[in-house]
A = this chain, B = another copy of it.
Amino acid sequence: MIMKHNFNAGPSILPQQAIDATIDALRDFNNSGLSIAEISHRSAGWDEAMDECSVLWKDLLSIPDGYEVLFLHGGASQQFLMAPYNLLQTRAAYLDTGVWATKAIEAARYYGEVQVIASGKDSNYSVIPEYAIPADVDYFHFTSNNTIFGTEILADPDSPVNMVSDMSSDILSRPVNVSRYAMIYGGAQKNAGTAGLAFVIIKKDILGKVSRDIPKFFDYRTHIKDKSMYNTPPVIPIFMMKETLKWLKGIGGVAEINRRNQAKADCLYGEIDRNPVFRGTAAVKNRSRMNVCFVLDEKYAGKENDFMELTKKYGITGIKGHRSVGGFRASLYNALPLTSVEVLVDCMKEFEKMV
């Protein structure tokens, strides 16, 4: 079998070191004689694993005092509901930058008024629209990276109100000024581990300000109090997150991964801009470093399957674009090595000669 270059949009490539550590733990967790799949979450060693995971988050993102990191079930979709449940009293401002932002908006409407301050819908979300954050809302919510459309907000906005961000697909890919945010959340299954787990970085003093009666399980304060163990935590996904973060710390943390991610994005966007057969779909100024969306130039329309066939020869997988954009999408998450991007570029060059 040839080596696979995994460009999946998520779940997606993870550090081999994290996979190997999980295999070891499935055989024997922490010298307990038991598999991690069958240990009690109240048993010796598990508390330490959860704590280590939390410390790694705080260390990697320089999370200031006053914030808590939670590990919750349900992925980002559940946070679309939990965030407004806990924070939306009257009105919140949302930026509409794509499918996931739209889902977050739909969810927030169950709990209060949603002011969509700008939308990229008219451009099929190829541009992050200009926006101004109002000062009279409970919070401002945005999606930092739009997996489907390949756009990203790379700089932390400066907000006059509490700022909440879904960073599912670019968390840990670069430094973030956490102190600007009231809450950062996301599904783990891109840069932070495998599917079945959400992370929530939350400023504790923003809680308890809404007047509604929040069911205990949906109240962030419950999970803060019980250190993410109010109910049985997703043990294997949390372990895998810890190992993924450990790998990231080992290679030099977010400063180093930021450099690597820039190099990967430069390499691929460089080829897209040079190669007359391809063109990028996202506005240049809003290009995502995580998800690179591109199509064949109109002259080569209809040859998409030929390119897909060629990518297979190179061991490239997960490159098909989302149906709402078409074409191709190469996801360059943290664990993807530059060599995989170089292989894709070689493949694009060969295709250029073929057509």
Contact = CB atoms under 8 A, between A and B. Distances in A.
Contacts of A77: 217, 230-231
Nearest to A75: B231
A235 B195 CA distance: 6
Interface string A251-288: 00000000000000000000000000000000000000
A311 interface: no
A11 interface: yes
A217 to B, nearest CB: 5
Given A8-B43, A14-B38, A106-B216, A233 B23 contact: no
A8 B39 CA distance: 7
A80 interface: yes
Contacts of A317: 32-34
Contacts of A194: 37-38, 235-236
A231 B107 CA distance: 14
A193 B37 CA distance: 8
How many copies of this protein are present in the complex? 2
Nearest to A33: B4
Nearest to A16: B35
Nearest to A76: B231
Contact of A78 (B11, B34, B74): B74
A40 B235 contact: no
B1 A232 contact: no
A27 interface: yes
Nearest to A188: B232
Which of A4, A78, A231, A317: most chain B Cβ within 10 A?
A231
A2 B48 CA distance: 24
A348 interface: no
Interface in A58-88: 73-78, 80-81
A216 B216 CA distance: 20
A22 B35 CA distance: 11
A197 B43 CA distance: 20
Nearest to A39: B11
A229 to B, nearest CB: 11
A187 B110 CA distance: 27
Contacts of A26: 19, 22-23, 26
Interface of A: 1-4, 6, 8-14, 18-19, 22-23, 26-27, 31-35, 37-41, 43, 73-78, 80-81, 106-107, 110, 187, 189, 193-197, 213, 215-218, 230-237, 240, 315, 317-318
